[in-house]
Chain A
Amino acid sequence: MNSRQSSIRNFCIVAHIDHGKSTLADRLMEFTEQVSKRDMKEQLLDSMDIERERGITIKLTPVRMFYHYKGEEYTLNLIDTPGHVDFTYEVSRSLAACEGAILIVDATQGIEAQTLTNAYLAIDNNLEIIPVINKIDLPSADPDACKKEIEEIIGLPADDAPLISAKEGINIEAVLNAVIEKLPAPSGDESKPLRALIFDSTYDNYKGAICLVRIVDGSVRPGTGITMMSTGKSFECTEVGVFTPEMRPVEELKAGDVGYIAASIKNVKDTAVGDTVTATATPAPEPLKGYKKISPMVFAGIYPADGSKYNDLRDALDKLSLNDASLVYEPEASGALGFGFRCGFLGLLHMEIIEERLEREFDLDLVTTAPSVSYIVNKTNGEKLEVENPSHLPPPTEIESIEEPIVKAEIYTPPEYVGSIMELCQEKRGTFVDLTYLDQSRVKIYYTIPLAEIIYDFFDSLKSRTRGYASLEYEPEGYRADSLVKLDFLLNGETCDALSLIVHKDKAYARGRSICERLKDVIPRQMFEIPVQAAIGSKIIARETVKALRKDVLAKCYGGDITRKKKLLEKQKEGKKRMRQFGSVAIPSEAFMSILKFDDKD
């Protein structure tokens, strides 16, 4: 092994949410003086406001640090990992860019679901793991119990795990020392053809799409012709550099290095996470293992609340997708909502984040339809259709069968909730696969469940049935046919396409009834009576009535009321403009949204 690589350590930090990952990263940077205290923002690596507020990481930011240990200077590359079940694949790719991982366990809470998932992911990627016990400054900290859990549940020796407080800056040095002593140095071959693993990408207005890479073999410098091995697309490298954490150009990146490659790439979709970058002139024979084309799992229609803002919404989605290769969208028209976009997301959190960013960063008011999944429809004429929007389902007579996406769901829970969790999984059409006692206080339950049930209200039900103790991880596991039907809703006799759902036949009646009831409650009474119906095909299965309005009046209007009353009328009129017209029925956007927010009652 050459001495250049022997002074490099590439590592990441994995942890359950809130166990202190970002805080430790901040502390490491501070300790290696990568950033001065003056520049420290809370959780430096989480650069988006949403990330900082929610304490989650969406976009990765690697950082290069220098650390002197026993007379030698080491280069430490910390690669952040996203922290949510929607992003498991991204996590696995950033792990693959490292040789080792710091596993943080909260001394007050012990091992949690994500601790385990991430630890196993790290083990699967052959990473060396350094357990670190955090929050030892808290009175309820129990480091010994933590160590025992780490040894028993994960099977890692934890005797000399550093006991730290990232918040208080206690024992940070021990973590850095362990990184150098325990983690292996990279061992790529500089003389081999270039192979660089893309573990994330970002977009820069001047440089285009930028690949965040770990150089596994070979080297790359400005002028190198590069090729993406999954697509064969070629570009000319214009700049390479490292993260300090700001981007700083360097002359060359070599095997073992972590940094970025810019090559005037226009579309972030050409810099797919997990793809291998090689040199066009001397291509590597084999790409790095593990590349998967990721496809969206959750779909929803996003519409501007004010129809005239369609172009603004399109521009905003264009901008967001520059930086987010997993966001897909295409224009769609709804009879009820006008013009908008059908968007595909990695999961519900991803969807929420996009919605929130559209509203905050682009100041848009949105109407979003209920999230749905992508169905495969086998038609009687042998055709196969992919349907992401329930209202696009062909008529029942043309359908041979409908297949829906299934996920493998792993639920971690204290044993006392096993019964009610299994009950929930059965209700949600789950198929039991396995149940393992990890130790006395923790059980792993493994089910396959239709994704549609997961995104409907599974997570909330799980939390409420287990008082928040259970956690859920899931990943796609193919498609399965079931008796699925399209449930339509009619307002005043007209189908409201934006409300259509695909549901299991056995649940259609209950869902139809409960949504009709909710519609009745939120649709403001109008000058005429409005029947609200749920239908499967032409068969009405539930009906409610919004009675006609009987008064729309202010009882008092004397001298002191005139100014106020006129302003009120103007405001109400303005509000009416923002209403959605469903045929002859007007519904305020907010009311419409509240129909789409499902709850546990159904």
Chain B
Amino acid sequence: MTKTRGIYIHIPFCTGKCFYCDFYSVKANENLMAKYVSALKCEIRSSAGKFSEAVADTLYFGGGTPSLVGAERIAEIIKTVKDCFPAAFGEVSMECNPQPDIDYAAYRDAGVDRLSMGVQSLDDETLRLSGRRHSASEAAEALERAGRVFGNISADVMLGLPAQSVRSAVETVSRLAERLKHVSMYMLKLEKGTALYKSVSEKTVSLPSEDETVDMYDACMAELHKKGIYRYEISNFAVKGFESRHNLKYWHREEYLGFGAAAHGFADNIRYANPRSLNAYIAGLNFASGGAESYAVSSEDAEEEAVMLALRTDKGLDVERFNAEFGSDFFSRFSDAIEKCRELTEFDGRFFRIKPRKLLFESYVAREFMR
């Protein structure tokens, strides 16, 4: 069987910073974007020889807001990837945000076949208090226009945002489910250093409680199920057959190359990351496969990673595959952890998984499998 890999490309530009966001991003600027994309192409070319033995079968543009660099540059990048690696893409995803001026067809023509739209909420008050730069109707309109071009669109939704209620969250996913095949639903994690963290600690903004947020999650999941959109990972829901092939690689512990500032990769048993700094990246300092960190995964760590990642999925860990890959016996290797988590897990003869109603205790279970 031919070896395959995913490719992740990081585009760290945004038009502004959402109040909850603690990712590395830089204000979009034509000059900087031009330099960045040329550095990106340079990095891709430089690793061609090293990794060209495997077929690139998924491509993912993440960010930031990758669409900001424009369809032309996206096309150039895709072309560069195809020039450098044997490619048979089953999925080319790109993240974007609802912007009135996007020419969706241009991205389709560039080679993108799946969009992931940052909607977050279809409630104007919630959007405003979260620092989103679009209204609910603009988001709906963007999805409408994109839907005329793309058959595979996902929307990101967040739960636990300011002014959000169970009702408004359910209404948001309900409207999305009517036209989409995929929804990602993330419970907000309030990060230090964000604008939202500041206003929450100053008590100018209040957030739904943890319990309310879990209520939102349960209610939204039920609503999605009603519409035929099923959970396949803690935060990801799709119509059968529309699961993200690229993201599944992460949870199946398959390989992926990462290009761009702050991008992470995993290949030949090495996990690596590029430096976060855009300027350092553009200057070509230490980029290419692990300028910031790089380490070989020990066999013990590899087993733990495999379990930790697979337990995030509804399907669970393929025990046969695990045993074959690591030459060990899952049930005896982790007998203590399995015993401790008996109430929370189940085994169907092939897959070991967290019970569907207990999936939100994933970290609790995964901890038991760590040394």
A residues whose Cβ falls under 8 Å from a Cβ of B: 527, 547, 549-560, 562-563, 565-566, 569-570, 572-573, 576
Contact B305 A566 (CB under 8 A): yes
Q: List 28 A–B pairs whose Cβ atoms lie within 8 Å, in order of A's numbering.
A: A527-B361, A527-B364, A547-B211, A550-B211, A550-B360, A551-B187, A551-B210, A551-B214, A551-B217, A551-B360, A552-B360, A552-B364, A553-B187, A554-B362, A554-B363, A555-B234, A555-B235, A556-B186, A556-B235, A557-B250, A557-B309, A558-B250, A559-B8, A559-B250, A560-B258, A560-B264, A563-B273, A563-B293
The answer to whether the Cβ of B262 comes within 8 Å of any Cβ in the partner chain is: yes
**Scoring B residues 30 to 64 as 1 if CB is less than 8 Å from chain A, else 0, what string do you get?**
00000000000000000000000000000000100
In the complex, which residues of chain B have a beta carbon less than 8 angstroms from the beta carbon of A573? 367, 370-371
Known: A557-B250, A566-B301. A550 touches B214 (CB 8 A): yes
In the complex, which residues of chain B have a beta carbon less than 8 angstroms from the beta carbon of A555? 186-189, 234-235
The answer to whether the Cβ of B173 comes within 8 Å of any Cβ in the partner chain is: no
Q: For the complex, what is the distance from the CA of A552 to the CA of B366, rounded to whole Å?
A: 10
Contact A562 B271 (CB under 8 A): yes
Closest to B257 in A: A559
In the complex, which residues of chain A have a beta carbon less than 8 angstroms from the beta carbon of B360? 550-553
Closest to A557 in B: B312
In the complex, which residues of chain B have a beta carbon less than 8 angstroms from the beta carbon of A549? 361, 364
Contact B250 A569 (CB under 8 A): no
Contact A566 B363 (CB under 8 A): no
**Scoring B residues 231 to 264 as 1 if CB is less than 8 Å from chain A, else 0, what string do you get?**
0001100000000000100110000101000111
Known: A547-B211, A566-B304, A573-B370. A553 touches B363 (CB 8 A): yes
In the complex, which residues of chain B have a beta carbon less than 8 angstroms from the beta carbon of A554? 189, 362-363
Q: For the complex, what is the distance from the CA of A555 to the CA of B159, rounded to whole Å?
A: 10
Known: A550-B360, A551-B187, A552-B362. A565 touches B308 (CB 8 A): yes
Closest to B251 in A: A557
Q: For the complex, what is the distance from the CA of A572 to the CA of B266, rounded to whole Å?
A: 24
Q: For the complex, what is the distance from the CA of A428 to the CA of B309, rounded to whole Å?
A: 58
Q: For the complex, what is the distance from the CA of A549 to the CA of B304, rounded to whole Å?
A: 24
**Scoring B residues 159 to 184 as 1 if CB is less than 8 Å from chain A, else 0, what string do you get?**
00000000000000000000000000
B residues whose Cβ falls under 8 Å from a Cβ of A: 8, 62, 186-189, 210-211, 214, 217, 234-235, 247, 250-251, 256, 258, 262-266, 271, 273, 293, 301, 304-305, 308-309, 312, 359-364, 366-367, 370-371
From residue B105, how far is it (CB to closest CB) to chain A in Å?
28
Q: For the complex, what is the distance from the CA of A328 to the CA of B361, rounded to whole Å?
A: 47
From residue B25, how far is it (CB to closest CB) to chain A in Å?
14
Known: A551-B210, A557-B250. A562 touches B363 (CB 8 A): no
**Which of A558, A565, A570 counts the most B-chain CB atoms under 10 A from its CB?**
A558
**Which of A549, A563, A570 counts the most B-chain CB atoms under 10 A from its CB?**
A563
In the complex, which residues of chain A have a beta carbon less than 8 angstroms from the beta carbon of B309? 557, 562
Contact B250 A566 (CB under 8 A): no
B266's partner among A553, A562, A569, A576 (CB-CB below 8 A) is A562
Contact A563 B247 (CB under 8 A): no
Q: For the complex, what is the distance from the CA of A554 to the CA of B256, rounded to whole Å?
A: 21
In the complex, which residues of chain A have a beta carbon less than 8 angstroms from the beta carbon of B273? 560, 563
In the complex, which residues of chain A have a beta carbon less than 8 angstroms from the beta carbon of B304? 566
Contact B247 A572 (CB under 8 A): no
Sample of 9 further A-B pairs with CB below 8 A, known A550-B360, A553-B361, A555-B234: A553-B359, A553-B362, A553-B363, A559-B256, A559-B265, A560-B263, A562-B250, A562-B264, A562-B309
Q: For the complex, what is the distance from the CA of A552 to the CA of B234, rounded to whole Å?
A: 11
Top 4 nearest A-B pairs (CB, nearest first) are: A551-B360, A560-B264, A552-B364, A550-B214
Closest to A551 in B: B360
Contact A566 B235 (CB under 8 A): no
B361's partner among A552, A557, A559 (CB-CB below 8 A) is A552
Closest to A560 in B: B264
Contact B266 A559 (CB under 8 A): yes
Q: For the complex, what is the distance from the CA of A563 to the CA of B308, rounded to whole Å?
A: 11
Closest to A550 in B: B214
Q: For the complex, what is the distance from the CA of A576 to the CA of B305, rounded to whole Å?
A: 20
From residue B124, how far is it (CB to closest CB) to chain A in Å?
24
Q: For the complex, what is the distance from the CA of A569 to the CA of B273, rounded to whole Å?
A: 20
From residue B10, how far is it (CB to closest CB) to chain A in Å?
8
In the complex, which residues of chain B have a beta carbon less than 8 angstroms from the beta carbon of A563? 264, 271, 273, 293
From residue A342, how far is it (CB to closest CB) to chain B in Å?
35
In the complex, which residues of chain B have a beta carbon less than 8 angstroms from the beta carbon of A565? 308
Known: A560-B258, A562-B305. A550 touches B210 (CB 8 A): yes
In the complex, which residues of chain A have a beta carbon less than 8 angstroms from the beta carbon of B247? 558
From residue B357, how far is it (CB to closest CB) to chain A in Å?
11
Q: For the complex, what is the distance from the CA of A550 to the CA of B216, rounded to whole Å?
A: 12
**Which of A551, A553, A554, A557 counts the most B-chain CB atoms under 10 A from its CB?**
A553
From residue A363, how far is it (CB to closest CB) to chain B in Å?
25
Q: For the complex, what is the distance from the CA of A552 to the CA of B293, rounded to whole Å?
A: 28
In the complex, which residues of chain B have a beta carbon less than 8 angstroms from the beta carbon of A569? 308, 363, 366-367, 370
Q: For the complex, what is the distance from the CA of A569 to the CA of B307, rounded to whole Å?
A: 13
Q: For the complex, what is the distance from the CA of A214 to the CA of B228, rounded to whole Å?
A: 92
In the complex, which residues of chain B have a beta carbon less than 8 angstroms from the beta carbon of A560? 258, 262-264, 273
Known: A559-B258, A560-B263. A572 touches B363 (CB 8 A): yes
Q: For the complex, what is the distance from the CA of A551 to the CA of B370, rounded to whole Å?
A: 19
From residue A546, how far is it (CB to closest CB) to chain B in Å?
13
Q: For the complex, what is the distance from the CA of A421 to the CA of B62, rounded to whole Å?
A: 64
Contact B370 A570 (CB under 8 A): yes
Q: For the complex, what is the distance from the CA of A556 to the CA of B361, rounded to whole Å?
A: 14
From residue B60, how far is it (CB to closest CB) to chain A in Å?
9
In the complex, which residues of chain B have a beta carbon less than 8 angstroms from the beta carbon of A556? 186, 235
Q: For the complex, what is the distance from the CA of A570 to the CA of B370, rounded to whole Å?
A: 6
From residue A520, how far is it (CB to closest CB) to chain B in Å?
15
In the complex, which residues of chain B have a beta carbon less than 8 angstroms from the beta carbon of A551? 187, 210, 214, 217, 360-361
Q: For the complex, what is the distance from the CA of A208 to the CA of B305, rounded to whole Å?
A: 57
Q: For the complex, what is the distance from the CA of A553 to the CA of B366, rounded to whole Å?
A: 9
In the complex, which residues of chain B have a beta carbon less than 8 angstroms from the beta carbon of A553? 187, 234, 359-363
Q: For the complex, what is the distance from the CA of A565 to the CA of B251, rounded to whole Å?
A: 13
From residue B22, how far is it (CB to closest CB) to chain A in Å?
12
Known: A547-B211, A560-B263. A572 touches B234 (CB 8 A): no
Q: For the complex, what is the distance from the CA of A550 to the CA of B208, rounded to whole Å?
A: 14
Contact B367 A572 (CB under 8 A): yes
Q: For the complex, what is the distance from the CA of A551 to the CA of B357, rounded to whole Å?
A: 11
In the complex, which residues of chain A have a beta carbon less than 8 angstroms from the beta carbon of B367? 569, 572-573, 576
In the complex, which residues of chain A have a beta carbon less than 8 angstroms from the beta carbon of B251? 557
**Which of B211, B262, B264, B293 counts the most A-chain CB atoms under 10 A from its CB?**
B264
From residue A528, how far is it (CB to closest CB) to chain B in Å?
11
Q: For the complex, what is the distance from the CA of A550 to the CA of B309, rounded to whole Å?
A: 21
In the complex, which residues of chain B have a beta carbon less than 8 angstroms from the beta carbon of A559? 8, 250, 256, 258, 264-266
Closest to A555 in B: B186
Closest to A576 in B: B367
